[in-house]
Homo-oligomer: A and B are copies of this chain.
C-alpha cells in the first residue's frame, strides 16, 4: 500500500492524492460511508458502487466482533467476501464503541473489559486483541487501539490517557508485525493522534505518531462535542506536524462545511455517520443547503429531490414523495435519503479534488461554504 501525493493547493494546504491498496486505488480527498455491521444501512453494495460512487467503506470492529463474530467472518474468508464488497475497507479498532455503546466497562493498562450491548456478555479488548480481530475481519486499513477521550476532558486525564494510547500503540505495532496479513492482501495499520483540545498534548501525540512512520496517520478524539473552532484549531495544528507524504485521516468528521474546511488544512480521508444517520431522520444535504424533508413546505413540491444531485434517486423521486415516505415510516425513505446524502458527500469530496487539481480550490470552497449550511 502506498500514497501518491499528486498536488497541494497553493492558497491552502488542501491536497489531492491516490492511496493504492490491493483492492484498488482511492482518490483523495475521500469520504468513507459507514457500514457499521457489514452493511451501509439501506444501501445495496452495488448501489454503493454505482449510485453513491464510494471508493472505500468503513466497518465497526466492535459491532462485527459481537455479531456475526469472527466465527462467521473468518470462515467466510473475511468481510470483503462475507458482504460481497471488493473495494477497500477500513475498520476502526472498536475502542470508540466500547466507550460509547457497551454496558459496564473498565479501562486498565492491559486493556478494556466491557459488556456487549447485544447480549450482555463480557469481553476483553487489548491492543493485541484489537489488531488480531481486525486482521481477521480483514480490512485493508486497520486502526490502532486507543482511548478516545470525551469532550470536555480535563488536562490531566487527557495527558495520561494519551500516554497510555502511545504505550498501546507500541503494543499494536508489535502485534501487527508478529502476525501478518490474514487473507493474502496487504493490511496497513494507521496510528491515531489523541490529546483532546490541548495544543501541547496534540503536538506531543502527533510527533509520537509520526515517529512510527506508518503508511497513513489518523487524528482521533475530535468531533466528540467540541465547538468547530476547537476542531479546526486542533486539525490545523496536527496537520502541520504529521508528514506531508502520508495520508491523513480525520476520524468521525463531519458536516459538509467541516469537511471542506478540513480538506483545506490537509486532511485526505473522512468518515462520519452524519449523512447516513441524518438521512434516516429526513435531513438531506445538497449543494444549495440543508433540507428537512418532513417540513410541510415540501408536501406538494413535486420537483426532484435534488436537481443537481449525481445519483439517480435525485431525479427519480420528488420531494413530496420522499416526504410522504418519511412520514409513513416506509423503508424506501431510508433507502432514498441515504443514497442521496452519501452520493452528495462523495460528490463534495470529488468536486474538492477536481478544484485542488485545477488550482482554484480556495475560491471554490469560499463560494460553497455559505451555501452548504443554508436551510432550504
Q: Which residues of A contact B (CB under 8 A)?
A: 37-39, 41-46, 63, 67-68, 71-72, 75-77, 81-84, 299-300, 302, 312-313, 316-318, 320-321, 323-325, 327-328, 330-332, 334-336
Contacts and interface: CB of A to CB of B under 8 A. Distances in A.
A41 to B, nearest CB: 5
Closest 5 A/B residue pairs (Cβ): A68-B324, A42-B331, A39-B332, A39-B330, A37-B328
A302 B75 CA distance: 9
A300 B75 contact: yes
> A37, A82, A320, A328 — which one has the most chain B CB atoms within 10 A of its CB?
A328
Contacts of A334: 331
A288 to B, nearest CB: 22
> A38, A67, A324, A335 — which one has the most chain B CB atoms within 10 A of its CB?
A324
Given A320-B82, A321-B82, A332-B44, A327 B67 contact: yes
Contact of A72 (B312, B313, B324, B332): B324
Nearest to A324: B68
Number of this chain's copies in the complex = 2
A62 to B, nearest CB: 13
Contact of A330 (B41, B71, B327): B41
Contacts of A313: 44
Nearest to A75: B300
Contacts of A84: 316-318, 321
B318 A76 contact: yes
Contact of A67 (B46, B77, B81, B324): B324
A45 B315 CA distance: 13
Nearest to A63: B328
A335 B44 contact: yes
Contacts of A67: 324, 327-328
B299 A72 contact: yes
A83 B42 contact: no
Contacts of A76: 300, 302, 318, 320-321
9 contacts: A38-B321, A41-B330, A43-B332, A44-B336, A67-B328, A72-B324, A82-B318, A82-B320, A84-B318
A80 to B, nearest CB: 12
Given A37-B328, A38-B321, A84-B317, 5 more contacts: A39-B325, A67-B324, A67-B328, A68-B320, A72-B300
Contacts of A321: 38, 76, 82-84
